[in-house]
Structure 1
Amino acid sequence: MKTTSTLVCKLVTLFTISLLNIYAVKAQCVAPLMIWQNAVLVNGTSGQIGAEYKFPSVIAGVDAFVTVKDIAGGASLTSVDDNTFGYSEAWQPVVKTPTSQGVSSSYVSFKIDFKDSATGANHTFPCFQLSFIDVDGDNQHVKEFVAAKGADQIVVSNVTTLALTPISPNFIQATGTFHNYPGIDTSAYVTNINYNYRNANHINEVRFGNITDSIFTVQDRYSCGYFRPIAMTNFYVLPVKYISFNATAEENAVTIKWITEQEINNNYFQVERSFDNSTFNSIGTVMADFGAASNSNYQLIDNAIEVMTKTIVYYRLKQVDNMGKATYSNIIAVKLPVQQGRVVMQTSPNPFTENLNIRFTTTGNGLGEITINNINGQKIITQQTAVSKGYNNLLLNCLNRLAPGMYTVQLIINGTIISNQKIIKN
């Protein structure tokens, strides 16, 4: 979208209705062609949080009500709908960047309700499509983003300039680049994104925003939200719609659970963990529930010893489709309980052949002793070591001389038996 000083607009209306992306999900439903014009302030103060605008007769007998839900990061709403540029039948709010220079992310968000013109009752569409057109930048220091909540399906071009980031389950943000694509053009597929809805009478939140660097020029950014089917060749459908994603800390582990409502060409999930909310590493793979006819429930338990030494752990899901394309969930944080002096021990591999890793945490320094006992309680191997507060890792090697069978590994710290675990020698 463009600024007042640079925008040259021409909308190419490409409606090849028999082609790829008519919104025909499950019930062959064709999205209506809405006309968004003549907005009138009906409640609140124009441009402020709580302001409500009426767009009359977006289709015959149905009005759209748009309420300013939030204004964040220093943004401001210059106009709820500017038809000077772009396409007059689209919803085209103008959002100003912050008025002082600096690295920032700012936005204005809206709630949309559809009402019956005669009765004022909620009007439910079998389906409708919100297409954001020309999500780009100013060629220098500003790039735009859009987001819409609760879509049943999200479609982008297979080759796209947009970076897709979940804000929360089923709330996906699409961020453009600094590059400017002249005009507002429905055929500029790489800068477009379609949010498709089924059996809905509202959108709980829609965001229009900007990301700026430290030396940007204060400016108005024109946006184009187009409520009608927009063709997109070589399109890519985001394969998973999440109902929930959460994690719960227990005594010795974190249980990560998620539920999906819709999966298209999904192959598997990888659960990724971070201790700094920046660097994430995979801790396990969960295959897709290929035979599910409806909601699918997934779970993974993280009982790594290093997790128990932390106060906060972060998780996200990496979803991989059948073509190898990956998308990410939102990030969730888990606060772990205080250990209260408890020592946690973990052994691996188990069963073992020659080497055995003993990992444990302690709340203080001291002298540790590791013993391996046979099933009769007799000590076979004893090794002493100095232990330090926090995480400790001890390697026992040359164990191939042990006869195959079951043993017990025992951890003793400062003369007190702390933990016992059964282990198997192959």
Structure 2
Amino acid sequence: MKTTSTLVCKLFTFFTILFLNVLVVKAQCIAPLMVWQSAVLVSGTSGQIGAEYKFPSVIAGVDAFVTVKDIAGGASLTSVDDNTFGYSEAWQPVVKTPTSQGVSSSYVSFKIDFKDSATGSNHTFPCFQLSFIDVDGDNQHVKEFVAAKGANQIVVSNVTTLALSTISFNFIQATGTFHNYPGIDTSAYVTNINYNYINTDHIDEVRFGNITDSVFTVQDRYSCGYFRPITMTNFYVLPVKYVSFNAIAEENAVIIKWVTEQEVNNNYFEVERSFDASTFTAIGTIMAGFGAFSKNSYQLIDNAKELMSKTIVYYRLKQVDNMGKATYSNIIAVKLPVQQGRVVMQTSPNPFTENLNIRFTTTGNGLGEITIASINGQKIITQQTAVTKGYNNLQLNGLNRLAPGMYTVQLIINGTIISNQKIIKN
């Protein structure tokens, strides 16, 4: 989307019926043409978590109620719907980046409920489509992302600039690039994504967010959520819908399990492992199941020797379709059983705001050093302390001066690096 000075939200008003069978409920279902205008605050404080807005008559006899569910990473809601720019029938929230420079990921999320205008009871649509238009960047240091939960199918262009990732089960995020695409155009498929819904009266969560580098300019980002059936040519359907993904640590191994309920043109899965939640390595390949529209269960056992010396391990799934396109699941963390002689470090709270507790056990006395560094390795805070055999508890205070974002906390005892952990500053 565009900043105040560059946004030209001109949407072509051609709409065609999706021929995809995703919007079929016994017979073909045509997604309605919703009109989102004249939002009114009905409860809570405007722009704050818990604020509820009413969009009257999105179709005849049906109102949409939008509730601010969460505000994260220093973002703020400038407007729940801005028609100064853009297409007036679309839902166009404006989300401001954090007000201080620094690498960050920030967003505002909403819950949407559809209700009968006369009775106030829930209104179930046989089908509807939420299309995010022009998910891009500022040409410099900010790129946008959108996400929606619970869609029955997700469609992007076969050639797309969007990177797809899974936040949690059936909660898919699309992240644009730093490049800015002038104007907003429903036919600019490379920056668009469609979320298709069947037989529902709500969307549990929708996110509008921004990813910034260290030298971005604070700015409003205009978004365009369009509740209309926008057709893509050369479309690409997200191949896999997950039911569950988890991992269980045993004494000398980790068992990774996942279940899918829908697979379209799926080829294989790769299980990837990381010890820092950043750099992942493939540890096994599992071929896709045979039931495209039934539940398929998968399992892989990780018994690598490296696990013996670690306290926590991270896993994710890389799914590859028949065209070679890859999408990634959410990342799960597994706490490993304590081995005799191992030093274990725990940090809390994480994410933190002002204070950080660091707890660890050692097998002997010595000199300890705690370092907080930026993600590019620059040391920001270093604190030394005497450690004693057994349980130790340190607290770092006054961390509110740190910019929101991700950092690394490192524990060194007697000159040896014992542990590194990722921490997040809110």
SS in structure 1 of the partner of residue 107 of structure 2: strand
Q: Verify: 1:190 aligned to 2:227, yes or no.
A: no
Kept after mapping to 1: 8 A contact 2:25/2:198: no
Partner of 1:103: 103
Deviations 1:198-244 (A, max 9, x none): 12111111111111222222211110000111111111111001111
Taking the TM superposition and a 5 Å limit, the aligned residue runs for 1:233-382 are 233-291=233-291, 293-340=293-340
In the alignment, residue 276 of structure 2 is paired with which amino acid? D
SS in structure 1 of the partner of residue 307 of structure 2: helix
Taking the TM superposition and a 5 Å limit, the aligned residue runs for 1:6-405 are 6-17=6-17, 20=19, 23-25=22-24, 27=26, 28-291=28-291, 293-340=293-340
Residues 1:140 and 1:31: Cα distance change in structure 2 (over 3 Å):
same
The gaps in structure 1 that reach 5 residues or longer are: 343-362, 364-426
Q: What is the aligned residue count?
A: 342
SS in structure 2 of the partner of residue 256 of structure 1: strand
Kept after mapping to 2: 8 A contact 1:136/1:144: yes
Residues 1:293 and 1:102: Cα distance change in structure 2 (over 3 Å):
closer
Kept after mapping to 1: 8 A contact 2:40/2:53: yes
Instruction: Work out which of the two has the higher radius of gyration on C-alpha atoms and give 1 or 2.
Output: 1
Structure 2 CA distance for aligned equivalents of residues 194 and 72 of structure 1? 24
In the alignment, residue 90 of structure 1 is paired with which amino acid? A
Kept after mapping to 1: 8 A contact 2:277/2:314: yes
Kept after mapping to 2: 8 A contact 1:129/1:229: yes
Residues 1:3 and 1:21: Cα distance change in structure 2 (over 3 Å):
farther
Residues 1:263 and 1:253: Cα distance change in structure 2 (over 3 Å):
same
In the alignment, residue 32 of structure 2 is paired with which amino acid? P
Kept after mapping to 1: 8 A contact 2:22/2:153: no
Of 97-106 and 87-96, the range deviating more from structure 2 = 97-106
Structure 2 CA distance for aligned equivalents of residues 277 and 320 of structure 1? 21
SS in structure 1 of the partner of residue 290 of structure 2: coil
Kept after mapping to 2: 8 A contact 1:23/1:129: no
Deviations 1:15-58 (A, max 9, x none): 132x6558534643221111111111000011111000011111
Structure 2 CA distance for aligned equivalents of residues 263 and 334 of structure 1? 26
SS in structure 2 of the partner of residue 315 of structure 1: strand
Structure 2 length as normaliser, TM-score? 0.77
Kept after mapping to 1: 8 A contact 2:161/2:176: yes
SS in structure 1 of the partner of residue 23 of structure 2: coil
Structure 2 CA distance for aligned equivalents of residues 223 and 287 of structure 1? 38
Of 299-308 and 146-155, the range deviating more from structure 2 = 299-308
Structure 2 CA distance for aligned equivalents of residues 293 and 78 of structure 1? 42
The gaps in structure 2 that reach 5 residues or longer are: 343-362, 364-426
Structure 2 CA distance for aligned equivalents of residues 295 and 117 of structure 1? 38
Structure 1 length as normaliser, TM-score? 0.77
Kept after mapping to 1: 8 A contact 2:246/2:257: yes
